[in-house]
Amino acid sequence: MIRIITGTAKGKKLISPEGDSTRPTSDRIKGAMFSSIQFDIEGRRVLDLFAGTGQLGLEALSRGAESCTFVEIDRDVMEIIKKNARATGFFEVCRYAVSDWRNFIRKAAGRDVYDLVFIDPPYAMECCTDAARRLADAKIIIPGAILVLESGEENIDLEGLPDFEAVKSTNYGKKTALHVLIYRG
């Protein structure tokens, strides 16, 4: 059962695609993620780069974020995100991009700007570091932007991200790591 933890949509249940095409973030990890940034959500423009169910972007909206762009490569999964956005009352403050994450970043360069980004790809992709670097290079994140990375066994190369400062890095069991970074620009 996926739900919004707190805020204006607290307790709203979210639909998840059947099968294993997505891996929703557990309430435990989502709670830890949002407790790390709880005072830095209000008014933020959110990018949920590997949206899945949309739960991370919708949780941020429930906690006061201004808007959210969901990026999801699977058209059927995007329809579920739209249903979840309607169910939580946030449909109108969202944008929906059916796209590969690299193509989205390339096309958004010089056009879109975000200051809170969730990077939670399928663990086998191991692309969190690459995604953070590409976001910075495309200048679609601003100085002070918060990036929340959830990864599996991927080693997040902070040395390869010199414009970022790690404010939290925690492992949850053997399979999940959570990193909160600030983009210094």
Identify which of 114, 108, 109, 179 has the alpha carbon closest to the alpha carbon of residue 141.
114
CB 21 within 8 A of CB 92: no
Reply yes or no on whether the pLDDT at 22 is more than 70. Answer: no
Range 2-183: architecture per CATH: 3-Layer(aba) Sandwich (3.40)
pTM for the full predicted model:
0.94
What is the arithmetic mean of pLDDT over 120-128? 85
Identify which of 5, 80, 72 has the alpha carbon closest to the alpha carbon of residue 41.
5
Reply yes or no on whether the pLDDT at 155 is more than 70. Answer: yes
Q: Rounded to 5 degrees, what angle do the CA atoms 40, 128, 113 make?
A: 50
Q: 32 pLDDT band (50/70/90 cuts)?
A: confident
